Each structure stands twice: as C-alpha cells, then as structure tokens.
Amino acid sequence: MGLQFTLSSPDESVARQALYDVIIIGSGPAGLVSALYTSRANRSTLVFTGNQIGGQMALTWEVDNYPGFPEGLTGPELVERLQKHAERFGAVFEMDLVTAVDLGDRPFTVTAHSGIYQAKTLIVATGASPRKLGIPGEAQFTGRGVSYCATCDGWFFRDKHVAVVGGGDSALEEALFLTKFATRVTVIHRRDELRAGPALQRRTRENPRIDFIWDTVVDRIEGQDRVAAAGLRDVKTGATRDLPVEGVFVFIGHIPNTRLFGGQLATDEQGYLVVDRHMRTSVPGVWAAGEVGDPHFRQVITSAGMGAAAAVEVQRWLDMHD
C-alpha cells in the first residue's frame, strides 16, 4: 500500500515497513498474550488497542483469580504488566480504532483512523461487550459495586446483600455462584417467569439465599463511594422503591464485537465467531481468540490461553508459508 510506519524492536532500534507478520485487533487478555507470543517468536506484531487498552479487564476493579498473583491486583495493573511484557519483545501498540478489514486478498488490509496497514496474518481479539442497563449510576459504579462477572468479583461481596438483574441461564448460574459468598441474592426480572432452563430454575428456587422480585426493572443505581441501593420500578403498576444492596450484578446478555467482519467471517446464531480447536476462523490466515469466539467461559485466564493458542498457530502458519 506504500504507507510506512515504525516498529520498535527490543533494542529500541527503529525499522520502517509496510507489512506486518501479524496484526492483532483488540487489546484484552487474548490480544495482549497473542502479542507476547508472536513478538517473542520474532514476528513483527502490531496491536490495535481501540479507545482503551485492556478491554473489559481494564474496567475490573480487582483481579483476584489470575494465577501467579496470590495477593491479587487491579485490572489496569494486569493490563500494564502484559503490555510491557509484549513490548519487551518488540510488539507495537497503536491506540486507534480499526474501521475496516479486507480479507479478500493477501496480504490482508486493515484500515484505521491513522492509516491503512497490511498483514500476512490476523488475530481477532475484539471481545464481547456485556449488555448494559443504560441507567443512571451504572457507569459511575462499575467496579465499585456494579459488575458483569460473578466469577470475577463474587468474592468481594462476602456476607453482603447483592442483586442480580436478568432471568436467563447466565443470570441464574451467576446467582447460584454468588450464594457462596453473599448472605442474600435478590434476582430482579422484568417478567413474571424466568427464561432459564427448568433445572436451573429449580435449583435457584430451592436455594434459601435467593429470592425474586418479579415484573420489575432497575431504573437507577445509587450510593456514595460504592453501591448502596438499586432503584426499582414495577413495570405493571409503575410503583417505585429503593432496594438496599451493596452490589448489582447485570446478566442480560453479551454482544460479540464482530460488526467489523460482517460477511467475511463465519459466525454462529449468537453472532460469535466460529473457531475450531486451533482458533482458526473460516478464512485461512485469520484466527480469533478470547470472548469474540467464546460465549461460555468469559474469563481472563481462558481468553489469555486462547490468545496463546492462536499465536502459536500463527507462528506455525508463517513458518510454512514464508
């Protein structure tokens, strides 16, 4: 394409090039670990971070279950460590949004606000975004009582009263998990019946720590430094009231960030990228890692593992084709 840009190597020398061995779109745990592996294999690596490096991990107040850190650390601290590790081997991080990708010809073309780039291979690590309630206080208290992952944050609500918003399988699974820590879990659902499977419904109804509020939505979240209450509204009567809680867990679904690849990469019925056991997508030379292809686990460690697997496969592919 003729566009020149810089690649910083570990010894801080600068090399100009128009083609990267691998471009990684996304900078959550999958993208960061992919960058570490490919750059360590001496493959020129460019990572598009989006507006904020780290993805959802950067919004996590404390990560207490990442192996090797028994005292725990904050999401931003883990992001910084992973980025520095990748940069040590020469990975380049571009704080930019990718606006278009052309997978029809090789090398692949990646267009961002800063210019047009080319890559021999591509790793898609764009993640999935939890559906938000879009109410006052939600963004303000994210990481301070508002959470989208019980497995990540449940431990911090030991002996507390928390609310779970949702009525599907994920909501009930997470509600059951939270009973390991919270003394009371209130499930708030906008309908008068649950959408989850019968077995999950039975288990939650039989759990003495779980109670339900039906036909109700959360209109606002209030507190000072942390969540103190959820403002509720009955959808049938319009009546409002406050529910004192110390945590609000939102489980109303996820949206895989795949719009960029519409019509070019195969997706399942939920919109997640279809990958095989080697993280390969439907287009040779393109891999996907992390939540963009994982509707089930959605953990930092599993995304990191998928990123490592994708990067290993990229190295093998490049070794065969170079």
Q: Which sequence spans correspond to the domains of the chain?
A: 5-129+254-321, 132-250
CA 62 to CA 181: how far, in whole Å? 16
Residue 14 has pLDDT above 50, yes or no: no
Catalytic residue flag (residue 319): no
Distance of CA 165 to the CA centre of its chain: 19
Closest CA to 57 of 74, 71, 70: 74
Name the one residue in this structure whose structure tokens are 């609310």: 163
Model confidence at 151, pLDDT cuts 50, 70, 90, reads confident
pLDDT of residue 55: 85
Pairing of strands 184-188, 286-288: unpaired
Q: What's the fold here for domain 5-129+254-321?
A: FAD/NAD(P)-binding domain (3.50.50)
Radius of gyration of the chain, Cα coordinates, nearest whole angstrom? 22
Name the one residue in this structure whose structure tokens are 């508002």: 146
What is the average per-residue pLDDT within 49-66? 82
Annotated catalytic residue within 21, 96, 105, 153: 153
Distance (Å) of CA 190 to CA 164, 198, 207, 251: 12, 18, 21, 12
- DSSP letter for each residue of 249-266: EE-S-EEE--GGGTTTS-
On the question of a cis peptide bond just before residue 107, with omega within 30 degrees of 0, the verdict is yes
What is the average per-residue pLDDT within 220-224? 97
Closest CA to 125 of 46, 63, 32, 41: 32
CA 140 to CA 152: how far, in whole Å? 19
pLDDT of residue 61: 63
Backbone φ and ψ of 175, nearest 5°? -60, -45
CA 282 to CA 274: how far, in whole Å? 7
Annotated catalytic residue within 21, 64, 102, 152: 152
Coil, strand or helix at 111: strand
Q: What's the mean pLDDT when you consider all of the chain?
A: 91
CA 91 to CA 34: how far, in whole Å? 10
pLDDT of residue 72: 87
CATH class, 132-250 region: alpha beta
Catalytic residue flag (residue 225): no
Catalytic residue flag (residue 149): yes
CA 4 to CA 118: how far, in whole Å? 10
Structure tokens given for 214: 């039906």
Model confidence at 98, pLDDT cuts 50, 70, 90, reads very high
pLDDT of residue 103: 97
268-296 pLDDT per residue, tens:
999 999 999 999 999 999 999 999 999 88
pLDDT of residue 13: 33
CA 254 to CA 321: how far, in whole Å? 36
CA 43 to CA 89: how far, in whole Å? 9
% of the chain exceeding 70 in pLDDT: 94
CA 62 to CA 60: how far, in whole Å? 6
* Total Cβ atoms within 10 A of residue 156: 16
CA 83 to CA 113: how far, in whole Å? 22
Residue 18 has pLDDT above 80, yes or no: no
Structure-derived torsion over alpha carbons of residues 224, 56, 138, 233, reported in degrees to the nearest 10? -130
Annotated catalytic residue within 149, 215, 219, 234: 149
* Total Cβ atoms within 10 A of residue 282: 16
* Intrachain domains 5-129+254-321 and 132-250 with the same fold: yes
Structure tokens given for 305: 């593992």
Pairing of strands 128-130, 254-256: antiparallel
